[in-house]
A and B are shown apart, each in its own frame.
Chain A
Amino acid sequence: MTQPRILEVRTRILKKNDELAREMRREFESLGLLVVNLVSSPGTGKTAFLKETLSRLLARGIPAAAVVGDLETDNDARRLAASGVPVRQIMTHGLCHLEAEMVRAHLADWNLADFHYLFIENVGNLVCPTSWDLGESVRLALLSVTEGEDKPLKYPGLFNTADIAAITKIDLAEACEFDRETALANIDAVRPGMQVLETSVKTGAGIEEWLASLATRRAMLTP
């Protein structure tokens, strides 16, 4: 044989991660567990948003848990644990995103059937987490008013994979001269029709709407 041979492979590069994530999602959903993957830039307020979410769920007796990805510290996990719900830290040691296997390894000895919601706080990054399915049912992309209205246009890949967007820190909108209409139009341009929440953990704006949206989505899972 003197000619090179071409093997058509036609497979997803992240096949291993995809298959594991699919298997995890099936398990989560069969337990009635809604898993949410939170993605944003560093500094958008993911941790504060999640802390508020967890506190309100806890106050209503709705069981939830969280795993938090971070490059080096466990500061976020400690902040979240203050809300009184079970929290685990995934330290990625420099890796810019979470992968399905890392999440699974950190869930090992939790009885997932005990929870209604599991939140995964991804590493603060608007590029790298895009292609890694973590077995979530909902991907929430957060964007703060301090970041500028054009973030969705700069990171269309990530916003396009999201199921819900949350604009955070809207209590600061005026001080930042945040152009709400443009921000909404930009989100709609990269993910037409996506639900957008306008939130503030300071004033509580949008948080009830967020919890209601979670409840609706969880109700749709129940087998």
Chain B
Amino acid sequence: MHELSIAMNVAELAREHSRLHGDGRVSAVTLRIGRLSCVHEDSLRYSFELVTEGTPLAAARLRIIEVPIRIWCPTCEAERELPGIQRLACPECGHLSGEIRAGRELDLESIELAPETTP
């Protein structure tokens, strides 16, 4: 359950950034998670709920953008998106390539601040 540690880091970063921008209420948090990053989405959602409970982030929705693996194929001289994660081979020509261009992301993309309520 390393997703718990990841969720704690997400919550901490989201709080830090919202404080820098007027400490508004965070209504959503968007992550980009690469398919090679070994993160289980359901565990991460569950962990995020756990760590934000009773905090200003409690109502924040968690959006997860899954990023497929893209490798550079030196034979085709092109970047290729892979259908799976078990063979880093060009889907066109079969060439194995360790030159990963995407798929390892574990990023906090953005946070959404709720509109301020007028008193």
Contacts and interface: CB of A to CB of B under 8 A. Distances in A.
A95 B5 contact: yes
A160 B5 contact: no
A52 to B, nearest CB: 29
B98 A189 contact: no
A131 B17 contact: no
B89 interface: yes
Main secondary structure of the interface of A (DSSP, over half): mixed
Interface in B12-38: 12-14, 17-18, 21, 24, 27-28, 31, 36-38
Contacts, number: 116
Interface string A132-161: 100000000000000000000101111010
A10 to B, nearest CB: 6
Contact of B13 (A11, A130, A191): A11
A67 B17 CA distance: 35
Contacts of B24: 5
B88 A160 contact: yes
A3 B27 CA distance: 11
Interface string B37-81: 111000000000000000000000000000000000000000000
Contacts of A12: 106-108
Interface string A5-47: 1111111111111000000000000000000000000000000
A156 B21 CA distance: 39
A187 to B, nearest CB: 11
B6 interface: yes
Interface string A168-195: 0000000000000000000011111110
A192 B106 CA distance: 22
B13 A13 contact: yes
B38 A128 contact: yes
Interface in B80-119: 85-89, 96-98, 100, 104, 106-116
Nearest to B21: A7
B10 A156 contact: no
Contact of A192 (B12, B13, B14, B98): B98
B38 to A, nearest CB: 4
5 contacts: A4-B28, A7-B111, A8-B109, A13-B107, A96-B2
Interface of B: 1-2, 5-6, 9-10, 12-14, 17-18, 21, 24, 27-28, 31, 36-39, 85-89, 96-98, 100, 104, 106-116
Interface of A: 1-17, 95-97, 99, 127-132, 153, 155-158, 160, 188-194
Given A4-B113, A130-B38, A153-B86, 20 more contacts: A1-B115, A1-B116, A4-B27, A4-B112, A5-B24, A7-B17, A7-B113, A9-B110, A13-B6, A13-B31, A96-B2, A97-B5, A130-B37, A131-B38, A153-B87, A157-B36, A160-B88, A189-B89, A193-B96, A193-B98
